[in-house]
Chain A
Amino acid sequence: MTREKNPNATTVELSQPFSLAKFFFQWEWMLVVLFLLVNLLNVNLSPYYLNFDNLKDALPTFLDKAFIVLPMVFIIILGEFDISVGSIVALSSVVMALAFQMGLPMEAAVGLCLLVGTLCGMFNGIIIVKFKELSAVIVTLATMIIFRGIAYILLEDQAAGHFPSWFKGLSWGYVGDVPTILIVFLVFALLFGWVLHKTALGRRVYAIGNNVTAARFSGIKVDRIKVLIFTSAGFMSAVTALFLTSRMGSTRPNVASGYELEVITMVVLGGVSTSGGKGRLIGAVLAVFLIGYLRNGLGLINVPAQVLLIIIGLLLVVAVMVPNLQWNKKRALRHGERKKEGK
């Protein structure tokens, strides 16, 4: 978290002396403050919010999609988008349910679910690097429709379920007093955070996001990294499918619709720039908890669903505007200095 180790700090920033104000005026700190504010607000709005049972029981309801947030941070830092993740969730969940119905043991069906998700992600990645004239948005828009279409063909508008009881425990279970899903999420978050901020692969992802041509000329295997990252998004979508299916006890081809946008919302709110090359994993993870508990708190005072959407929309607008404002201010200052020098 210290700024010296921040890999996306530009050389300009490094040459400046360390400033405490600057350290705290980072988007991640804004999120921490926002998170505290939301919690304060919730505690006062509802007497039921600050209750250990509520706080821990709320986790499974929003952490399932958080698994996709982790690879999506990588994808958006690359300067790309993947909007097929919701459909991958649906397809891998439906395949798992069907395989189980056909008599496959549940353990094997879970494996199949992860395999299907991974293959879908790999398919996305390969198409994206093979057809460079197509942007990832267009490619994943197409596969979004294809994957969900296959799910509909497989299950024909029906629901499938009746899973063994241990599978239910995945999303409803606890290790001691800690929800299983939280532990799994934190393990994945640490893994993705370590890769992004501590390894060469992570630094290359930033390099590609900042300038793909320069990255290519400096010998970074851009295509291989892209395929790897889109594949990981497929895998993590399948992990989401596992937890979501477990929570519902049955699945349908239309599950997880709109998840792609919710995930992208969390990543952008987490301070990851949609123009690529900027942002940190911790921000997105904070945004997951921020939105999750905001929804929970407002749900506890029974705020109508539409109002909730508006509030989250406003949060997102702020998240997108604030970094731009800062950047514009800096640019305006520099521009002004240059003018003075010129005179």
Chain B
Amino acid sequence: MKRLFPKVLVALMVLGFLGVGTVSAAPLKYAIIFKNTGNPYGEKEMEGFKNAAKELGVEAILKAPDQPTAEAQIQMIQELIAQKVSVIAMVANDYDALQPALEKAKAAGIKVLSLDSAVNAASRQVHINQADPERIGRVEVQAIVQMIGGKGEIAVLSATSQASNQNLWIDWMKTELKDPKYKDVKLVKVAYGDDLRDKSVSEMEGLLKSYPNLKGVIAPTTVGIAAAGKVITDKKLKGKVHLTGLGLPSEMAEYIQSGVCEWMYLWNPLDVGYLAGYAADALVKGTITGKAGDKFKAGKLGNKVVIADGDGTQVMLGDPFKFDAKNIADWKKVY
């Protein structure tokens, strides 16, 4: 064995050196980092980004860590800086924690934007918002209140506790619930399933156990709503516990058709990624700098305008879309 070892080593070294010198003038690289792997919604968002990159004739780099943590995303940002990409589009796991890493990217001349789940205004040049957060929050509360007949206990099953988009929607839900017409509706708990299937299932089971009078659940995340739909179906609680939120039509079709979830909302994740791809391109080409009032053309989505959003700026995709038993059969084939 000890005789064989050096030979293997030399062979591997020779093999290794053969690859040198294959670097050529590569096209521009546009990168997107999603929250974590194994999330069908994220796959669609990245696919949309890739489609835009293809139309623009640039190379798309799609990355997602195995765990939905900021630590892992920081590592990926560092890897992208080393690869000298032109632009990084972030779907962030934490609003503030990526700031040092993204500032470093910006210092290296890389454009930074966020989509879907934002990073703070200091870390980004522009944010791509899938829909007006206020509308998402308010519409979901209105939906669940209608389903439970105007009174009873409700709960929220969210993603991670730091997911900036979900937290913003939940804040709007709470604002909507302050309206006196909801005096008989009580939000008992916000649970966090971390966008992991098993954790979402156990959090949902926990909610049902801790609040036996629970009448409705809002799950503003695709992983959470599918997990909740499964738990309600398995425990035969259809009609007793109502469900709405944001879900992928293909995953939720069976629950919408069975009536476990009467209706839900979403936008097209392909379009969110696609819009991010075009916004990234506009940043790289200098068409926009990310200040309010900037305009650019986003391929098949038409013209888009950058608008102010708190300290930063954003581009809005559109209104949330309602999926129910009437239209789900068509949409489940799309995404």
Contacts and interface: CB of A to CB of B under 8 A. Distances in A.
Nearest to B96: A250
A299 B78 CA distance: 9
B79 A168 contact: no
16 contacts: A25-B5, A37-B9, A37-B12, A57-B78, A62-B75, A157-B192, A162-B96, A249-B96, A250-B96, A252-B162, A299-B75, A299-B76, A300-B79, A300-B82, A305-B36, A306-B37
Contact of A57 (B19, B81, B161): B81
B39 to A, nearest CB: 12
Contacts of A258: 67
Contact of B78 (A58, A157, A304): A58
Given A48-B84, A247-B74, A305-B64, A159 B13 contact: no
A250 B2 CA distance: 50
A302 B12 contact: no
A327 to B, nearest CB: 14
Contacts of A300: 79, 82-83
Interface in B21-79: 23, 36-38, 61-67, 69-72, 74-76, 78-79
Given A168-B100, A300-B82, A302-B63, A248 B19 contact: no
Given A46-B83, A257-B69, A159 B95 contact: yes
Contacts of A51: 82
Interface string A213-233: 000000000000000000000
Nearest to A45: B19
A39 to B, nearest CB: 9
Interface in B150-175: 160-162
B310 interface: no
B82 A44 contact: no
Nearest to B97: A248
Contacts of A44: 16-20
A255 interface: yes
Contacts of A255: 69, 71
Contacts of A46: 83
B99 interface: yes
A141 interface: no
B178 interface: no
A248 B74 contact: yes
B11 to A, nearest CB: 11
B71 A244 contact: yes
A305 B67 CA distance: 9
Nearest to B68: A254
B20 A43 contact: yes
Given A252-B161, A254-B69, 14 more contacts: A25-B2, A33-B9, A37-B9, A43-B16, A51-B82, A57-B81, A61-B75, A247-B101, A248-B98, A252-B70, A256-B71, A257-B69, A302-B61, A305-B37
A41 B162 contact: no
B67 to A, nearest CB: 7
Contacts of A58: 78, 82
B192 to A, nearest CB: 6
A172 B100 contact: yes
Given A37-B12, A300-B83, A306 B66 contact: yes
Contacts of B81: 57
A342 interface: no
B66 A159 contact: no
A306 B39 CA distance: 13
Interface string A127-170: 00000000000000000000000000000011101100000100
Nearest to A40: B16
Interface string A101-129: 00000000000000000000000000000
A296 B94 CA distance: 22
Given A40-B13, A258-B67, A61 B82 contact: no
A244 B69 CA distance: 12
B64 A248 contact: no
Contact of A48 (B5, B17, B83): B83
